[in-house]
């Protein structure tokens, strides 16, 4: 690994869900605690910001244009970046304690998004699948849903519960969208970082941002840690591959969790970092409705 640099000194409270758009050479990300969706054009170095009135946890671009996004109150679609929302699903959980967090589309264009349960005293975080105007509950046994990703053949789904330091795998039937055979993929020791958002490369390696771990880890399909890449922020939140050759790893980070003393050491915390890798990422799937 080489050439790690701060691409966007965003000073974001909680940057998450980096998403590369290969059609426009743009990197999207959200700042959950600032209620924002941002779009950075890599060629012009300009940022567009969409302000909302509640937390946007995650989103995916749509094949028809625009995007689908999961908020505290539910899931909505937008015909373009600045369009008004259309309701897809209104959340039926307690919105005072629960909001959407991590998510992405599977290879057939279904949108999967998981929730986090803020009190973190019960396993009430759930993973939902949205397709054809309906939703399906896939799992409800997490405190904080995170790390959602798919193996290159689409047969394995990864899903982490960050506060419990565990990444799980499921067998995933891409034709039906059904999950089965939940297993522990890797469990991290306490005090060395917690598995947050993730991405998979073309060789099937799982790349996880370790929140409070100051690094990103590359994990083989067999669960072996192959590489650890330091990040100049204590709280990396998620990774995404992109760039012209899909070899750049973009890393979002959280600023608000740092103390003032820590920010003296990590002044770019809350920024979006870029790491040039020797691995090639998968192009992100888009929502098909």
Which residues are the active-site residues? 196
Are 89 and 75 within 8 A, CB to CB? Answer: yes
Please say whether the beta carbons of 255 and 28 come within 8 A: no
36-41 sheet: strands from edge to edge: 15-21, 26-31, 36-41, 46-51
Q: How far is residue 99 from each of residues 6, 42, 128, 212, 243, measured CA to CA in Å?
A: 29, 31, 12, 21, 31
**Assigned token pair, 93:** 């959980």
Cβ–Cβ under 8 Å, residues 256 and 28: no
Q: What is the CB-side half-sphere exposure of residue 200 using CA atoms within 13 A?
A: 25
Nearest Cα neighbor of 4 from 272, 281, 284, 280 is: 272
Q: d(Cα 142, Cα 46) in Å, to the nearest integer? A: 37
* Residue 264 φ/ψ, nearest 5 degrees: -65, -35
What is the rounded CA–CA span in Å between residue 192 and residue 152?
Answer: 28
Q: Assess contact for 179 and 154: CB atoms under 8 A.
A: no
- Extract the tokens encoding 275: 């790491």
Rounded Cα gap, residues 73 and 136, in angstroms? 17
């Amino acid at each position: 690994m080489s050439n790690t640099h701060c691409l966007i000194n965003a000073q974001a409270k909680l940057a998450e869900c980096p998403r590369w758009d290969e059609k426009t050479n743009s990197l999207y990300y959200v700042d959950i605690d600032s209620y924002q969706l941002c779009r950075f054009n890599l060629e012009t170095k300009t940022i567009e910001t969409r302000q909302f009135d509640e937390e946007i946890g995650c989103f995916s671009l749509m094949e028809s244009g625009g995007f689908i996004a999961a908020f505290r109150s539910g899931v909505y679609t937008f015909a373009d970046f600045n369009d008004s929302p259309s309701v897809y699903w209104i959340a039926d959980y307690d919105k005072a304690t629960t909001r959407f967090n991590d998510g992405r589309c599977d290879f057939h264009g279904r949108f999967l998004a998981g929730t986090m349960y803020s009190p973190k005293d019960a396993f009430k975080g759930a993973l939902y699948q949205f397709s054809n105007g309906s939703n399906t509950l896939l799992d409800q046994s997490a405190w904080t849903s995170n790390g959602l990703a798919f193996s290159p053949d689409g047969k394995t789904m990864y899903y982490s519960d960050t506060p419990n330091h565990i990444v799980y795998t499921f067998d995933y039937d891409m034709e039906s969208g059904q999950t089965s055979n939940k297993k522990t993929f890797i469990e991290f020791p306490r005090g060395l970082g917690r598995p947050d958002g993730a991405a998979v490369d073309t060789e099937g390696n799982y790349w996880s941002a370790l929140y409070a771990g100051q690094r990103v880890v590359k994990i083989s399909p067999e669960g072996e840690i192959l590489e650890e890449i330091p990040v100049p922020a204590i709280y990396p939140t998620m990774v995404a591959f992109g760039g012209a050759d899909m070899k750049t790893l973009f890393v979002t980070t959280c600023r608000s969790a740092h103390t003032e003393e820590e920010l003296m050491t990590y002044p770019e915390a809350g920024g979006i970092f870029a790491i040039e890798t020797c691995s090639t990422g998968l192009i992100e799937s888009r929502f098909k409705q």
